[in-house]
Amino acid sequence: MQSKADTRYRVTLTLNGRERSGYAEPRMQLCDFLRHDLGATGTHVGCEHGVCGACTVLVNGRASRSCLMLAVQADGKQLETVESLAAGDELNDLQKAFRKHHALQCGFCTSGILMSSMEFLAKSTSPTEPEVREMLSGHLCRCTGYTGIVNAILEVAEERNSGISRQTDINKENNNV
Ligand code: FES
Ligand code: FES
C-alpha cells in the first residue's frame, strides 16, 4: 500500500520566467526538484543543511536556501536560478565582474553567491566592503578566497550607480532641450 509520504504531488512554479511543473514527494528538497525534475543544474548542493549557501536561489525575489525548502512549498512561487542571469551567451554584469576579478575557481559555490549578490545589489545600491563581507558570510568558498568576490561585487555596485547617474544626466539634458 502506498503511504502519504510516497505520494507525489504536482508542483507548478515559475522558473526564470517560464511556468514549469513536475511531481514531488512531500519530503523532496527544492534543490533536488530543481536539478533532477526541472533540469536547473546550475543550482549546486553542498552541505544539504543550510550552512554552505551553494544551493541559494531567489524565491519571490528573496535569496533562499533551496536545501532547506521543500519542493511542495515552492508551488505557485516565482523562482530565479543562476540560469536566469545570462542572456544566451552574454553574461550579465555580475558574472562578467566575477570573471574579470578571478572570483571563482571550481565554481561550486558561485551560483549561490551570484544569486545572493543579485538580491543584495538590488537592495544595497552603495554597499561598503564590510556590508559585502557580511552578506558573503552566508556562503562558503573552499578554493578562491573572498577578495576577488568582494571586489567584483563592489565594482558592479559602482558601475550600476554610475550608469544611473549617466542616465539621470541624459534625462536632464533631454528635458532642457
Ligand atoms: Fe544548501 Fe549547503 S546545500 S546551504
Ligand atoms: Fe571553489 Fe568557491 S570557487 S568553492
Centroid of ligand 2 to alpha carbon of 111 (angstroms) = 10
Q: Which atom of ligand 1 has the smallest separation from the CA of 56? A: 1
For residue 72, how far is its CA from the centre of ligand 2 (angstroms)? 30
* CATH no., domain 8-84: 3.10.20.30
Minimum-distance ligand 1 atom for the alpha carbon of 45: 3
> Measured in angstroms, how far is the CA atom of residue 107 from the centroid of ligand 2?
5
pTM of the complete model = 0.92
Largest distance between two CA atoms of the chain:
77
Query: What is the pLDDT, as a whole number, of residue 166?
Result: 66
CATH 1.10.1760.20 is the classification of domain 85-172: no
Q: What is the pLDDT of residues 31-54, one digit of tens each?
A: 999 999 999 999 999 999 999 999
- Domain spans of the chain, in order of start: 8-84, 85-172
Report the pLDDT value the prediction gives residue 163, as an integer from 0 to 100: 79
Distance 154 CA to ligand 1 centre (A): 25
Ligand 1 mutation pick, 43, 49, 109, 137, max ligand atoms within 8 A of CB = 49
Mean pLDDT for the stretch of residues 84-108: 97
Question: Using 50, 70 and 90 to split pLDDT, how confident is the model at 4?
Answer: confident
